Amino acid sequence: MKMWSGRFSKDVNADVNDFNASIHVDFRMYKQDIQGSMAHAEMLGKCGIISIDESVKIINELKNILKDADDGKIDFSVENEDIHMNIEAILTQRLGDLGKKLHTARSRNDQVAVDIRLYMRSEIDLLMAQMVELVNIIIKKAKVTDDYVMSAYTHLQRAQPVTFAHYILAYAQMFVRDLTRLADCSKRMNFSPLGAGALATTTYPIDRHFTAELLGFDGICENSIDAVSDRDFLIEFASAGSIIMMHLSRFCEEIILWCSSEFGFITLDDAYSTGSSIMPQKKNPDIAELIRGKTGRVYGDLTALLTMMKGLALAYNKDMQEDKEAVFDVVDTLKVCIKNFIPMFDTMTIKKDNLRKSASKGFINATDCADYLVKKGLAFRDAYKITGQLVAVCEQQNKDLETLELSEYKKLSDFFENDVYDAINLDHCVEQRKVAGGPSQKTVCEQIDNLKKKLDIITIYQRKKV
């Protein structure tokens, strides 16, 4: 018999019961459900709603249930619909009528709201730790590749010379922004809905601030209707997760291109590659491709959450049961993708000579050639035109700017002297870009130092939460 069956004259249809149940999804919140229930029981005792002795007995038995669940000794039942009713049913089986007192001054509406906040707070902390590790791996690679000259691209066409370190640190910056989004999301969700009841609190003299403090929240949700109907924090998390996946997907696209024969910039470790069932020579970047593909499912989860909430009148509606499957999928997908990306990236071999060889093509020092003329006194637009004409000459003669004779330079401008070859040397081009945020070794080192400082701030923030 259902705990809520008092006004019903017949049992729920078996198919409806299976359709209505969410235990197959929300079972993973059993720790948070018990944690919230223990705080609620302690508050009931403190406020004299139940006796202190009853409160202690309930809390101790909840601890026993938690241990049994951790040890795999509990089978959750579809008959009890969800994790909340399952825990309460087990408690009542063990304590009898005393177990029935736990739900005093509480609804499943505020119960699930507190569970999901506690769960997501914990999962965000784990994700942030993974992201910090990822950024540190990128920094480690950058430190040993700050003299690996390569071409950066616009429109997937060779553009200007940078270093491999500078290139990959662009992704480190993206991931640090992702970390701040996760931290902000966690901070905004860290308010307790417990005590809001179904939607209008309760007539019992409860202490919401006490339970909020016990559960490590920064305060309470100040409107009881909003407390049980708010899922903004899940949508915000899914949005942040979608951006993380977008960044991972872009990085994976680079890796897929770089390890192709056409680029040849890197080689993936055998442990993070796969072969073909028919072509013996193949070494495929399947891990990177899978991460790129899984990005779409996270986007879909975000869309599902937004669509689920878009037409709901206040307060709680059963539609909102669908939130957990979507947000859990975001969590699981992020964790598995980051977990596999880190060692794949860490173990790949970077081919310095191939990077430099590719950079020598495509006239990526053309801007530096134009700047050379400007520094000699020519207006930039005139210098730009002359350099463009030089590129055309090089193409006609199948040469590059570094191998074109000085006589050809002088045909277009008397400003050219032998020192032009120093100005267009790729190493020189990179090292002269000393502007903050640029690719020179000095500025890359500064960028790494600043990234470390940002990571330190984020790490300190996480420690304070614990």
User: In this structure, what token pair is assigned to residue 195?
Assistant: 């005590």
For tokens 């207006």, the residue is 379
Which 8-state DSSP code applies to residue 102? G
* Cα gap 428→419, rounded to integer Å: 12
Q: What are phi and psi of 262, to 5 degrees?
A: -65, -35
DSSP bridge pairs for 153: 158
Q: Coil, strand, or helix at residue 234? A: helix
* Cα gap 29→20, rounded to integer Å: 18
- Check: CB of residue 402 under 8 Å from CB of residue 421: yes
Provide the greatest CA pair distance for the chain: 101
| Catalytic residue from among 9, 155, 261, 407 | 155
User: In this structure, what token pair is assigned to residue 191?
Assistant: 């308010």
Q: Coil, strand, or helix at residue 365? A: coil
User: In this structure, what token pair is assigned to residue 442?
Assistant: 């000095």
* Cα gap 306→238, rounded to integer Å: 10
* Cα gap 339→158, rounded to integer Å: 32
Any catalytic annotation for residue 155? yes
DSSP bridge pairs for 162: 150
Beta-carbon count within 10 A of 144 CB:
11
Any catalytic annotation for residue 276? yes
DSSP bridge pairs for 266: 350
First to last CA, the chain: 41
Using DSSP bridges, classify how beta strands 149-154 and 157-163 pair: parallel, antiparallel or unpaired. Answer: antiparallel
| Catalytic residue from among 51, 77, 260, 276 | 276
**Which residues are the active-site residues?**
155, 276
